[in-house]
């Protein structure tokens, strides 16, 4: 049973066999009620959480709170790779538009194409809704850039303005500790100082 638990915990990103073992022994030795609460919460989430029918984020409802909100700017659509990206952007308190979740990035080598990312759903959304701007918030990886380029071309087809989130040196970061690719990206993406 402990080995089965170890394999289950090890499936989580960033959790190796030793970390999984620490979790298991902690729950079994010191916090059995916490373990039962965790099991119950996981079971409920697996049964009740699904994808939003509009933006594809995770929700317990048919349409998530952001998509059903009338106070959000429907003319802006931020494209992200994962539901957790929405959480990060929402924490900033700066963006008030809507989202579309790809649940990955284009990677033909891994068999992930436009259909797997729901880009046909995105195109359908662009034909139904009045979107004036698509904000590309895919990761600054080769796959993320390829995905952003694909979506940019799709948006061009519908004459929708496309912008890309800035990538570069983080606030509080120091140049001497920043890698050369980040510096190059920050320099090429510079803007006027107002």
In a domain, 172, yes or no: no
Helix (H) or strand (E) holding 44: helix 32-48
Number of domains in the chain: 2
In a domain, 101, yes or no: yes
Specify the pLDDT at position 182.
81
Specify the pLDDT at position 78.
97
Statement to judge: residues 114 and 152 lie in one domain: yes
Statement to judge: residues 83 and 160 lie in one domain: yes
Statement to judge: residues 159 and 100 lie in one domain: yes
HEC string of 60-105 equals: CCCCCHHHHCCCCEEEEEEEECCHHHHHHHHHHCCCCEEEEECCCC
Helix (H) or strand (E) holding 58: strand 58-59
Q: Give the count of beta carbons closer than 10 Å to the beta carbon of residue 3.
A: 9
In a domain, 53, yes or no: no
Contacts of 144 (CB under 8 A, 6+ apart): 81, 105, 138
Q: State the CATH number of the domain containing residue 32.
A: 1.10.8.420
- The residue ranges of the chain whose pLDDT is under 70 are 191-194
In a domain, 118, yes or no: yes
Statement to judge: residues 113 and 152 lie in one domain: yes
Statement to judge: residues 39 and 90 lie in one domain: no
Q: State the CATH number of the domain containing residue 102.
A: 3.40.1360.10
Specify the pLDDT at position 158.
96
Statement to judge: residues 78 and 160 lie in one domain: yes
- At 51 the three-state DSSP class reads strand
Domain encompassing residue 37: 2-48
Statement to judge: residues 109 and 146 lie in one domain: yes
In a domain, 190, yes or no: no
Specify the pLDDT at position 194.
59
- Its pTM stands at 0.84
């Amino acid at each position: 049973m402990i080995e089965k638990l170890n394999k289950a915990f090890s499936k989580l990103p960033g959790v190796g066999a030793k970390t999984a073992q620490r979790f298991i022994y902690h729950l079994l030795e010191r916090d059995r009620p916490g373990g039962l609460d965790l099991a119950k919460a996981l079971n409920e989430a697996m049964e009740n959480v699904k994808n939003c029918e509009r933006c594809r984020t995770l929700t317990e409802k048919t349409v998530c709170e952001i998509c059903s909100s009338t106070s959000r700017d429907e003319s802006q659509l931020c494209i992200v790779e994962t539901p957790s990206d929405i959480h990060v952007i929402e924490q900033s308190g700066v963006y008030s538009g809507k989202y579309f979740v790809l649940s990955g990035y284009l990677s033909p080598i891994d068999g992930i194409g436009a259909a797997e990312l729901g880009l046909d759903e995105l195109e359908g959304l662009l034909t139904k809704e009045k979107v004036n701007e698509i904000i590309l918030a895919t990761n600054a990886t080769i796959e993320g850039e390829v995905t952003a380029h694909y979506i940019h071309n799709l948006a061009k087809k519908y004459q929708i303005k496309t912008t890309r989130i800035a990538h570069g040196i983080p606030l509080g970061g120091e140049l001497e500790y920043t890698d050369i690719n980040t510096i190059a990206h920050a320099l090429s993406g510079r803007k006027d100082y107002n």
